[in-house]
């Protein structure tokens, strides 16, 4: 029986057996604030408060407010309580999000004291934010002189969000979606860029920010959401005492207005900046069609739309995706393909990238011809059953490997809560899925849905987004001209105000706040040992088996693990494409289309990846495995094992056109990943001379891998070249088929015996125990590289060789990363430098200490700040609290829980490379024992006066700067 605080009314409470929790919905009597509680016996408790934020322009007001609200509040008037709490906490998640129509502040923790500490800070930050004008200047935008303090120098725009959005909008998919949305939603809030358009962000005034805060950050406009084993009444007591009793109900009802329907389709041509390279601008155009569908809060309509999207686009055997993949009109299906259901009204998008700019009519014809054929003839019944199977599996799976599981569930319910829909129904799809199954029994279901939602739907927009080699230059000149015009209007008094603001902001950034007013956990609150998933070691047939019982809610997870044999350089470089192709080509007598359809009806996913790591003792010693993974509903356990065996043992590499498609698609995805992942790519490039593992990571998954994929895609144009590459894949495959194998099984304890019988039925034969293992040449090289790409911001990395995890110095080096970030880098790189992020970390796998910046307006200055951080550490008498905070951050990361299946897989992976429970516990103990003396010793030994490697991902306009820094310039 649910109990609740007297200030709240219980609306309803329902048990959800599939998710093993009870969903409780409450409303606060006085303010109308909503509270949705997911009662579970999980001790990782999650909190989120969401505000409906509906911007009416592209100044980024909601996004900048999200940042500024976390910069100090009534009870906690320190400059940066959010980042201070990240290091005074054992949180398993802390962040804030701005979506297109809501802003959310979530956190999670396994420690109740910590949870309550964070709750105090978050509630005060959201509802009693200080909103200091200097914080607005730092986080949003401000004017400054290029040479601070010198009014004779040019004006520049600065600000964290300003630079963040310059980086975000460097992404072509982001530009594509924003430009399409502006026409698909001509009158509602989605017409605007909620994150902020860099051209419009400087139009936002501080007064606008305050007005938006007063109207939107009010309990009447809020939804509180919680998950875990803390009772709803306990949460509500905190909400009432800390926030709600201070407010009365707001008269205004904030909501997204329905979009006015278009009575005729629209066609738009626009451009994105892309500098011409050796290939020119030919075949670089994106062509997409977007449709506006029904309300996302209509569960039946939403499920129908999901089913239709899966039927059309789920895999290469799906009719629309097949038509797009096989078309010569483009390089690959658009990254926007699919259903968008997180907004008030859903939208469906499909199209191609890598097109000729004159191909719009042909792409439209291809898409509508395919849809018309489906509207007339339908699709095979097995395609519908496969889509239903995928919906059921997604409903059952317990996540938590990237996000906390409770937060994943909360995010599922958030769309309905934001738009005042039925949150309980949104999370309990069992009944709705049964209704859907009845509907699809009609032979006309898919035909009528395709015709109604797509073919005859006039609210659609076709966007042709072509490259423009001079667009970036024109945009830069326009910004420079705007600033010059502004400067021409400035009086001496105005100039002095800009200088005084910069000085005041610098003083504020340098000030030492009294952190004692913030709550914190102590090292004494840290559990004495880490959680551990124990599994059995058995034999199935002739193969070693590691078996784990876990609460997987009716799912079973299999892995086939093949030890990598010794490979030639060419074979090693082919590994990433082999992993992609293995589960995407045909097998046995099945072509790839039939194989894809078999996967869709059998498993939730089937994938291959490689894992190459050091042994924890020597960075130059490596081992590696090919890992093929499948997840399936329990009833499909036997079929999934058979599918995995057939995929691996009988994979065929004779479908040359399919391999060509996969290379082109892989290239497109990799090129698009740069602007969102530039810091990791820069660190990988700078680390490539440290150890063999680091070099392989850069060669396969880093910038060198992207460069090679581009070359491979350009080279494989003739049948002879394709045939030669396919033969390389085949030879590598035959080598891997003779390598040693072992198996992993994760499922519910009561069914493990049955699952093992399924494994034994299909995995027999030789164990190949004597095969040679992977040997990589030692690496010791200093990297000095600058990579030019299509971005408006920089990503900088500086890397020093250190040690791997079993060395006693690995623990203090890991803590050192947190100390440098907390004490120096966050202030200099982010707050003063304007980058969206920056920090330092020790990589105990490759043996490297890495400095990095993310979406950074600076370049050489940031590299200098990395060196300054080292000198700061050696010259500073660290307080014990600073060290403890960094230790807490490391331990929190070590102890962060995964899903039940994820924890089993993580344990298996660690022990595969010799990282036993004892070794991991030893590392954790060493972390807890780190002292100031240890930090200074490792800084002097590994970082001071060392010769680091450097890699930078930068705009193409930065060539001269990179050359001046002595970096070898490469163009991606």
Locus of tokens 């799906």: 318
* pLDDT reported for residue 221: 97
C-alpha span between 839 and 818 (Å, rounded): 8
Residue 756 has pLDDT above 90, yes or no: yes
Q: β-strand 741-747 against 543-549: which pairing, if any?
A: parallel
Q: 67 near 139, Cβ under 8 Å?
A: yes
**What token pair was written down for 863?**
């590299």
pLDDT in tens, 411-431: 989 999 999 989 888 887 788
Question: By mean pLDDT, which of 230-234, 322-326, 388-392, 595-599 is the weakest?
Answer: 388-392
Report the pLDDT averaged over residues 509-538.
89
Report the pLDDT averaged over residues 904-909.
93
Q: Rg of the Cα trace of the chain?
A: 28
Homologous superfamily (CATH) of 8-256+491-517 is Metalloenzyme, LuxS/M16 peptidase-like (3.30.830.10)
Report the pLDDT averaged over residues 361-373.
98
Q: pTM value?
A: 0.92
Report the pLDDT averaged over residues 1-15.
88
Kindly report the CATH class assigned to 536-762: alpha beta
Could you say which DSSP state residue 88 is in?
Answer: S
Indicate the pLDDT class of residue 339, thresholds 50, 70 and 90.
Answer: very high
CATH entry 3.30.830.10 includes domain 784-971: yes
pLDDT in tens, 694-710: 999 999 999 999 999 99
Phi/psi zone of residue 293: left (φ > 0), alpha (ψ -120 to 50 degrees), beta? beta
| Cβ neighbour number for residue 171 with a 10 Å cutoff | 20
* pLDDT reported for residue 257: 92
Topology alike, domains 8-256+491-517 and 266-468: yes
Closest to 679 measured CA to CA, from 892, 812, 841 = 841
**What token pair was written down for 113?**
């004291």
Indicate the pLDDT class of residue 542, thresholds 50, 70 and 90.
Answer: confident
Residue 875 has pLDDT above 90, yes or no: yes
* pLDDT reported for residue 275: 81
Domain boundaries, the chain: 8-256+491-517, 266-468, 536-762, 784-971
Residue 82 has pLDDT above 70, yes or no: yes
pLDDT in tens, 423-462: 888 887 788 888 999 999 998 999 999 999 999 999 999 9
H helices, E strands: number in the chain: 34, 28
Residue 39 has pLDDT above 60, yes or no: yes
Length of the chain: 972
Indicate the pLDDT class of residue 615, thresholds 50, 70 and 90.
Answer: confident
Could you say which DSSP state residue 398 is in?
Answer: -
* pLDDT reported for residue 732: 96
Closest to 195 measured CA to CA, from 156, 157, 166 = 166
**Measured between alpha carbons, how far apart are the two ends of the chain, in Å?**
61
H helix runs in 70-195, sequence order: 81-86, 112-127, 133-139, 160-168, 172-184
Average pLDDT over the chain, rounded to an integer? 93
Report the pLDDT averaged over residues 16-43.
93
**What token pair was written down for 102?**
């809501």
Q: β-strand 848-854 against 837-843: which pairing, if any?
A: antiparallel
Residue 281 has pLDDT above 90, yes or no: no
Closest to 787 measured CA to CA, from 686, 711, 665 = 686
* pLDDT reported for residue 278: 57
Cα torsion through 3, 4, 5, 8, rounded to 10 = -150
C-alpha span between 178 and 180 (Å, rounded): 5
pLDDT in tens, 394-412: 877 877 677 898 999 999 8
Residues 817-830 as b/e (b if ≥16 CB within 10 A, e otherwise) read bbbbbbbbbbbbbb
**What token pair was written down for 883?**
């060290």
Indicate the pLDDT class of residue 287, thresholds 50, 70 and 90.
Answer: very high
* pLDDT reported for residue 770: 63
Closest to 213 measured CA to CA, from 391, 362, 55 = 55
CATH topology of domain 266-468: Cytochrome Bc1 Complex; Chain A, domain 1 (3.30.830)
Locus of tokens 């792409």: 363
Could you say which DSSP state residue 801 is in?
Answer: E
Side-chain-facing half-sphere of 728: CA atoms under 13 Å: 21
* pLDDT reported for residue 169: 86
Residue 28 has pLDDT above 80, yes or no: yes
Indicate the pLDDT class of residue 725, thresholds 50, 70 and 90.
Answer: very high
3-class DSSP assignment, residue 642: helix
Q: Identify the H or E element spanning 864.
A: helix 860-875
pLDDT in tens, 629-682: 999 999 999 999 999 999 999 999 999 999 999 999 999 999 888 988 999 999
pLDDT in tens, 564-600: 999 999 999 999 999 999 999 999 999 999 999 999 9
Burial (CB < 10 A; 0-12, 13-18, 19+), residue 242, is: middle
C-alpha span between 60 and 204 (Å, rounded): 8
Q: Identify the H or E element spanning 23.
A: strand 21-28
H helix runs in 282-429, sequence order: 299-313, 319-326, 360-377, 381-396, 405-418, 423-427
pLDDT in tens, 914-939: 999 999 999 999 999 999 999 999 99
* pLDDT reported for residue 279: 65
- % of the chain exceeding 70 in pLDDT: 99
């Amino acid at each position: 029986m649910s109990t609740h605080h007297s200030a709240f009314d219980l609306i309803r409470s329902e048990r959800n057996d599939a998710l093993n929790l009870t969903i409780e919905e409450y409303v606060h009597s006085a303010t109308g604030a909503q509270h949705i509680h997911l009662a579970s016996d999980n001790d990782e408790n999650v909190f989120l408060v969401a505000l409906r934020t509906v911007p009416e322009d592209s100044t980024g007001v909601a996004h900048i407010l999200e940042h500024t609200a976390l910069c100090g509040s009534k009870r906690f008037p320190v400059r940066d309580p959010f980042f201070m709490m990240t290091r005074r906490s054992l949180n398993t998640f802390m962040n804030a999000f701005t979506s297109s129509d809501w802003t959310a502040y979530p956190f999670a923790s396994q420690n109740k004291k910590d949870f309550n500490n964070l709750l105090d800070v978050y509630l005060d930050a959201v509802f009693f934010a200080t909103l200091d004008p200097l914080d607005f200047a730092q986080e949003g935008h401000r004017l400054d002189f290029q040479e601070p303090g010198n009014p004779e120098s040019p004006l520049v725009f600065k600000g964290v969000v300003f630079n963040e959005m310059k980086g975000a909008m460097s992404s072509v998919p982001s530009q594509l979606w924003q430009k399409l949305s502006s026409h698909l939603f001509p009158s509602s809030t989605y017409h605007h860029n909620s994150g902020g358009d860099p051209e419009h962000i400087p139009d936002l005034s501080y007064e606008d920010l305050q007005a938006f805060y007063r109207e939107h950050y009010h309990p009447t406009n809020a939804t509180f959401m919680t998950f875990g084993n803390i009772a709803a009444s306990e949460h509500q007591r905190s909400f009432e005492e800390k926030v709600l009793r201070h407010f009365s109900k707001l008269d205004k009802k904030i909501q997204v207005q329905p979009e006015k329907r278009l009575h005729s389709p629209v066609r738009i041509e626009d451009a994105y900046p892309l500098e011409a390279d050796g290939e020119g601008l030919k075949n670089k155009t994106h062509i997409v069609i977007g449709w506006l569908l029904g309300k996302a809060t209509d569960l039946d309509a939403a499920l129908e739309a999901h089913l239709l999207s899966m039927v059309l686009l789920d895999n290469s055997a799906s009719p629309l995706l097949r038509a797009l993949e096989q078309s010569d009109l483009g390089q690959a299906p658009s990254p926007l393909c699919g259903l968008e259901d997180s907004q008030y009204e859903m939208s469906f998008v499909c199209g191609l990238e890598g097109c000729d700019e004159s191909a719009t009519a042909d792409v439209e014809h291809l898409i509508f011809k395919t849809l018309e054929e489906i509207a007339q003839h339908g699709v095979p019944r097995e395609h519908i059953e496969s889509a239903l199977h995928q919906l059921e599996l997604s409903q059952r799976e317990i996540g938590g490997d990237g996000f906390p599981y409770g937060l994943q569930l909360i995010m599922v319910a958030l769309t309905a809560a934001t738009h005042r829909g039925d949150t309980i129904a949104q999370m309990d799809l069992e009944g709705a899925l049964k209704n859907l199954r009845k509907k699809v029994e009609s032979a006309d279901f898919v035909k009528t849905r395709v015709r109604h939602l797509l073919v005859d739907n006039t609210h659609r927009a076709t966007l042709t987004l072509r490259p423009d080699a001079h667009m970036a230059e024109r945009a830069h000149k326009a910004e420079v001209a705007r600033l010059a015009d502004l400067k021409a209007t400035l009086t001496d008094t105005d100039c002095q105000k800009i200088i005084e603001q910069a000085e005041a902001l610098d003083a504020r950034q340098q000030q030492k706040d009294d952190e004692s007013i913030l709550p914190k956990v102590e090292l004494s609150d840290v559990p004495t040992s880490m959680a551990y998933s124990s599994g059995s070691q058995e034999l199935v047939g002739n193969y070693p088996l590691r078996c784990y019982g876990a609460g997987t809610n009716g799912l079973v997870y299999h892995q086939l693990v093949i030890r990598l044999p010794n490979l030639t350089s060419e074979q090693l470089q082919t590994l990433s494409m082999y992993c992609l192709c293995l589960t995407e080509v045909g097998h046995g007598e099945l072509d790839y289309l039939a194989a894809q359809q078999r996967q869709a009806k059998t498993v939730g996913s089937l994938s291959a990846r490689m894992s190459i790591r050091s042994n924890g003792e020597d960075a130059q010693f490596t081992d590696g495995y090919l890992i093929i993974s499948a997840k399936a509903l329990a009833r499909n356990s036997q079929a999934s094992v058979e599918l995995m065996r057939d995929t691996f043992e009988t994979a065929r590499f004779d479908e040359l056109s399919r391999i060509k498609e996969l290379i082109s698609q892989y290239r497109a995805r990799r090129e698009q990943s740069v602007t969102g992942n530039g810091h990791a790519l820069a660190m990988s490039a700078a680390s490539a001379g440290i150890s063999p593992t680091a070099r392989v990571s850069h060669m396969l998954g880093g910038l060198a891998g992207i460069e090679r994929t581009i070359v491979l895609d350009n080279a494989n144009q003739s049948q002879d070249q394709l045939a030669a590459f396919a033969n390389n894949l085949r030879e590598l495959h035959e080598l891997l088929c003779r390598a040693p194998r072992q198996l992993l099984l994760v499922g519910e304890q009561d069914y493990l015996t049955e699952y093992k019988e399924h494994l034994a039925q299909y995995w027999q034969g030789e164990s190949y125990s004597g095969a040679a293992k992977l040997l990589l040449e030692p690496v010791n090289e200093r990297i000095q590289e600058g990579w030019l790409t299509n971005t408006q911001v920089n990503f900088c990395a500086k890397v020093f060789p250190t040690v791997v995890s079993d060395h006693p110095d690995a623990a203090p080096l890991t803590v050192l990363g947190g100390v440098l970030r907390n004490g120096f880098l966050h202030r200099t790189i982010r707050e003063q430098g304007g980058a969206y992020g920056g920090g330092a970390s020790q990589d105990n796998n490759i043996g490297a200490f890495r400095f990095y910046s993310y979406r950074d307006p600076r370049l050489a200055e940031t590299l200098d700040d990395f060196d300054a951080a080292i000198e700061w550490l050696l010259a500073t008498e660290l307080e014990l609290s600073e060290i403890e905070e960094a230790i807490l951050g490391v331990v929190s990361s070590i102890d962060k829980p995964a899903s039940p299946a994820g924890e089993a897989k993580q344990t298996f992976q660690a022990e595969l490379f010799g990282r036993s429970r004892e070794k991991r516990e030893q590392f954790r103990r060493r972390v807890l024992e780190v002292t100031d003396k240890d930090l200074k010793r490792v800084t002097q030994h590994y970082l001071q006066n060392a010769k680091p490697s450097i890699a930078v991902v930068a705009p193409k306009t930065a060539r001269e700067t990179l050359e001046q820094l002595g970096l070898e310039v490469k163009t991606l």
